[in-house]
Amino acid sequence: MKKPLSAQGLDVQDRRFIFKLADMVADYIEMDETPDSMNRLKALPEHWRYLLPLLCYYNEVNNGGHHQYLWNSQGAYRSLVAEGLKYYQADQFEKNYIEVMTLYKPGLYEVSNGASWESFQGTYKEDRYDRQDSLFFKLSPNLAELLAKVVRENLELYQ
């Protein structure tokens, strides 16, 4: 039996600690591309369940905007992001994410729905999510900082 997840031993003042925590979650659930991996993630308590999807969302958007995030994520993961933003009361991020998902068109991103590299490039050029990307980058604290603050304030949940 695995030892429970714990932030014990992590320096919570380290500005990268929240990413280390997400890495711990990925290792704990043995993250891979299978549905079993997603089921293991969903089985975690809420305060652990949402860290990895939210930080993946944060990293993808920072790397290439919402367009890249949608291309590199899947449906179940996207719902965990929506739930996580609500759980962590990241209200401005949640509102922005809802707008992104309103603009989202599966046929442009899901290979199973006919998406291709050409559709990826075409939608990237049309700047579909420019307004939402701009807002995401302007929000302060950023999503990683907000999550780190919540974890620090509720450290007993993560021990």
For residue 149, give the CATH number of its domain: 1.20.1420.60
pTM: 0.90
| Count of domains forming the chain | 1
pLDDT in tens, 71-82: 888 777 899 999
pLDDT in tens, 6-38: 998 899 899 899 999 999 999 999 998 788 989
Residue 96 has pLDDT above 90, yes or no: yes
Write down the pLDDT at residue 111.
61
Query: Which residues form the domain of 144?
Result: 17-158
Please report whether residue 5 resides in a domain. Answer: no
Write down the pLDDT at residue 106.
73
- CA neighbor of 69 nearest in space, from 59, 60, 58: 60
40 and 50 in contact (C-beta within 8 Å)? no
pLDDT in tens, 49-88: 999 999 999 999 999 999 889 888 877 789 999 999 999 9
Compute the distance between CA of residue 49 and CA of residue 82 in angstroms, rounded to an integer.
12
Please report whether residue 11 resides in a domain. Answer: no
Residue 121 has pLDDT above 70, yes or no: no
Q: Write down the mean pLDDT value for the chain.
A: 89
